[in-house]
Amino acid sequence: MCSSDLAVAVPEGIWAISADTPEEMISRCQGMRAGRTFPYEPDAPLRLVAAAENEAERNGQLEKAISALQKGKGYDLLRQRGISLEDVPCDGQLAFLFTGQGSQYIGMGLDLAERYPIVADTFREADAVMEPLLGRTLTSFIRRDPSLSEDDQFEALRATEISQPATLTVDVAILRLLSAWGVRPDMVAGHSLGEYGAAVAAGMLTFRDALVAVSARGREMAAVKLDDFGKMAGIATSTETVEQVLAEIPGYVVAANKNCPTQTVIAGETEAVEAAIEAFKSRGITVYPLPVSHAFHSRIVAPASEPLKRVLQNLDLQEPRRRITTNVDSRWYPTGPGAKEKAIELLARQVASPVEWTSQIERMYAEGARIFVECGPKRALAGFVVAILKHRPHRALYTNQPKRGGVLAFLDSLAALFALGFPVASGPAPATDLFAPLGDRRSTSARLAARAEALRAPTTPAPEPDSTRGTPLIEQGILKIVSAKTGYPVEALDLDFDLEADLGIDTVKLADIIGTVREQYRLEQDPDFRMGEYRTLRSLIDYAGRRVGATRDRKSTRLNSSHTVISYAVFCLKK
C-alpha cells in the first residue's frame, strides 16, 4: 500500500482496510484474519469497512469480502449485508431522509440511548415535553411493558397521537447521533410525519417545537369526526398505473403516497377504496390493506389542517438553514421574505395532500445528492430510494433495523459513510451542533486521482545496504519456514513485517528460524552475522539470497505499468 499522509483513525466499533489493488486487498484481509492491523487510507481506490460484534463476525465478513474480490463481482450484495466494499470515488452530496408513521416498533431507539448519552438526552427531552400531554412519559410507551401483551402494547404505540412523537424522537436522536460522529447532510426530506424531523434538521423548528407540532398534528388527525373515516391500501405498482385504474373508480380515492415505482398508497372514501382494491386484484396487482384510523393525506383529514395551522403560527418557525423539500409539491421550502408564512401553509396543507416522495428523491438527485441516509426506525425509505434510482449511481443507507439491533445497524451506516470518505470521527462528541461545518471529504475523485498519479510517478528507491534481493524461490522457501515456526499462514505474511513487533518473534525463535534457514540452504556459519541488523522478513530473505547466490537486481515492485490499479472514473458517485 502506498504510504499516504491521509491515513486516518478508524471509528470505534468498526474495522477497515484500504488497498490499491484487489490482490493487495485480499492479502490484507487474510492478514487481518491472522491478527494483523493496517493503516486505513481513505484516498485508496479500494476501501473495505464494516461493523462487527465480535472477532467471529469480523472473520466471517472478511471471508465474504475475499470471495467477492476473488470473483471480481458481488460488491452490491456485500453492501446489502453491511460490508461496505467501495471501489469508486464519492463526490456526491449527502441527503438525510426522515422516517414517518408506520415504521414504529416496541423498544425502538432505546438500545442506542443506553450506549450513547446524546440519544438518552433526546429521549429525556421528549419525555419532558410529552408527559404533560400524555399523562405519562413517551418512553414508557416505547419500552417493553411486561404487564401487557406485545400485541396490546403495539396497539397503544401505534395510536397516531403516540406513534408520531415517538417516531419523531427516534428520527431526531439519530440525526443528532450522526452529527456527533461528524456527519451532517447537505439536504433533507421527510416522509409524511418525517417532514417534521427534516424541519429540525433544516433548522426550521427546534426539537421541542417539532414535538408540539406533531402532537397537535396527531391529535387533530385522530379527532376528525366523520361518518366515513375512509381507508388506505398499498398497491404494488407505479403511480401512473394506479392513477389509470383510479380514473375508472366512482367516488373519492386518490394516490396518497407516491413512494416509488413499485409501491403507491391509495386513500379515500371506504366504498371507493374497496372498489379500487378489487380492480387492482382483478388485474393481478398485489394489494395490502393498511390498518389506519383515517384516510391520511386525503381530503378526508382536511379538517385537521386549520387547527394545526394555528398551532404552527404560535411556534418559532424559522427560514431553512439547509435545503429541504416538501411533500406537498416536491419543491424546496422557500427562503427569504415570507418564508415562515409559506412554510406554515405547506405544513398545514401537508396533512391532506398526497406525498410526492418519488418526485422529491428525483429533485434531490438532480441537485447532486448521491448518498441517501434514512434517519429513523427500519428501512422503508432506503428501499424506496433504491427502487426509484435503480441502476443510477447512488447509495441508500438505513441507520436502524430491529433484526440487526439498533447499535449495530447504526454502526453499519457509519461504516458505509466512512468507506465513502465522509469525515466520520473516531468517536461521538458528547454534544453537537447540527450546523457545524462538515470536515473535508476523503474519497473524492480529486484525492483518488492524486494518489493514482503519485503511484504512476517514478520513485527514487531509498539507499539500501545491498542492491540485490532474494529470488521468489528463496522468498517462498523462507516464508514457509517462518509460517511453520509462527503459525501464521504464508499469505498473511508481509515482507515488511517487523519480526518482533509484528510477528512476535523473539531472539530465541529468530535463532531457531535462522538455524533452519541455514540447514535448508546449506549456508556456512557467518561470523559477521548480527541478528539485530535483520528486523524484517525482507531483510532476512535478502541476506539468505546473497549467501546462497540466488539473487536478482533490486527494483521497486511497488507499481509498474502492468500493475492493476482500480479505475477511479468508471462508476463514480458524482454530482
Strands 395-398 and 369-375: parallel
Catalytic residue among 18, 84, 163, 192, which?
Answer: 192
Q: Tell me the residue type at 501.
A: A
How many C-beta neighbours within 10 Å does residue 272 have?
A: 22
Q: Which helix (H) or strand (E) holds 397?
A: strand 395-398
N-term to C-term CA, the chain = 29
The answer to whether the beta carbons of residues 397 and 379 sit under 8 Å apart is: no
Spatial CA neighbour of 364 closest among 179, 188, 194, 100: 188
Cα separations in angstroms, 280 against 129, 253, 259:
44, 13, 17
Task: Quote the CA–CA distance of 381 and 451 in Å, as a whole number.
Answer: 36
Beta pairing partners, 17: 48
Task: Quote the CA–CA distance of 529 and 531 in Å, as a whole number.
Answer: 6
Active-site residue, 297 included: yes
Burial of 512 from C-beta contacts in 10 A (0-12 / 13-18 / 19+): middle
Spatial CA neighbour of 215 closest among 171, 163, 145: 163
How many C-beta neighbours within 10 Å does residue 211 have?
A: 25
Q: Write the secondary structure of 347-371 as one string of H (helix), E (strand) and C (coil).
A: HHHHCCCCECHHHHHHHHHHCCEEE
Task: Quote the CA–CA distance of 171 and 190 in Å, as a whole number.
Answer: 10
Give helix then strand counts, H and E, for the chain.
Answer: 21, 14
Catalytic residue among 103, 163, 215, 297, which?
Answer: 297
Backbone φ, ψ for residue 289 (5° rounding): -60, 145
The residues annotated with a catalytic role in the active site are 192, 297
